[in-house]
Amino acid sequence: MSETTTVGKLRKMRVEEGDPIQYTLPLGDESVAVNPLLGNTIVVRHTGDIHCVSCGRKTAKSFNQGHCFPCFRRLASCDACIVRPERCHYHLGTCREPEWGQAHCLRPHVVYLANSSGVKVGITRATQVPTRWIDQGAAQALPIARVASRRLSGLMEVAFKEHVSDRTDWRRMLKGEPEAVDLKASRDALFAQCDETLSDLTDEYDQVDPEMIADAESRVFRYPVLEYPAKVTAINLDKNPRAEGTLLGIKGQYLILDTGVLNVRKYGGYEIALSA
């Protein structure tokens, strides 16, 4: 294969469901198909420039996966309630961007169980299924409830995480495929354990009760990985702007090299030169 170099501002990889998952890496106006690079040596070099993924201004430091500090402070998408959706405060009239809140938070959400490093509970906008599951490197996923707003999905997640984790162990996820689990059995157990709490939840805007999904089938995902690392070492482009190695796999939003793993999403807005 002859060497090619593509330069541009990095964004998270786009995914397409398939067997295996198909990945495309956006670099500015260019897009690089990543799956065909498996088994080849690649070089990822940060040129030193970082541009805010929202306003485009040059920034010396990235906040919240690619934002300049003013956007980090201003945008509703960077508010703390994005990480803790049960703290959504749109209903209090204090949303940083009410129109954004209407478009993103007052929309149908899905509560799900996934298996990426063990069983976990999570939430996502209905329009982000199955992208959210793939971005997390889930080997299995099962929707268990539909709700009318982000806040309500967060409140359900809080109830469920009393009994099951809401986090992915990214190092464990990158070490191999998790042992298959019966997500339907986990769902039924959670419904029973949280029955009283869930019966008290309702949406405060249109009084829509959560819809429990009892008939969904578990989804299974296979990732393009030639070999998993025995030891997971994170590549830090801030400390060392050049990473080189053989591309052994792609999973979640990580490139797995024989020299370490690169969290692509972490470096949103970084100008990257990719050679393969």
The count of C-alpha atoms lying within 13 angstroms of the C-alpha of 94, restricted to the half-sphere facing its C-beta, is 7
Give the whole-angstrom CA distance, residue 159 versus residue 131.
24
pTM of full prediction above 0.85: yes
CA angle 189, 194, 198 (to 5 degrees): 130
How high is the pLDDT of residue 204?
57
- pLDDT under 50 in the chain at which residues? 1
**What pLDDT score does 198 carry?**
84
Domain boundaries defined on the chain:
5-66+224-275, 108-220
What are the pLDDT digits (tens) for 51-93?
999 999 999 999 999 999 999 999 999 999 999 999 999 999 9
From 121, 126, 122, select the one nearest 106 (Cα to Cα): 126
Q: Residue 1: its pLDDT value, please?
A: 47
Decide if 62 contacts 269 (C-beta within 8 A): yes
> Residue 48 has what pLDDT?
96
Which residues have a Cβ under 8 Å from the Cβ of 212 and sit 6 or more positions away? 144, 145, 191, 198
Residue of 61, 65, 91, 92 whose CA lies nearest to 78: 65
Measured CA angle at 90 (ends 84, 91), to 5 deg: 115
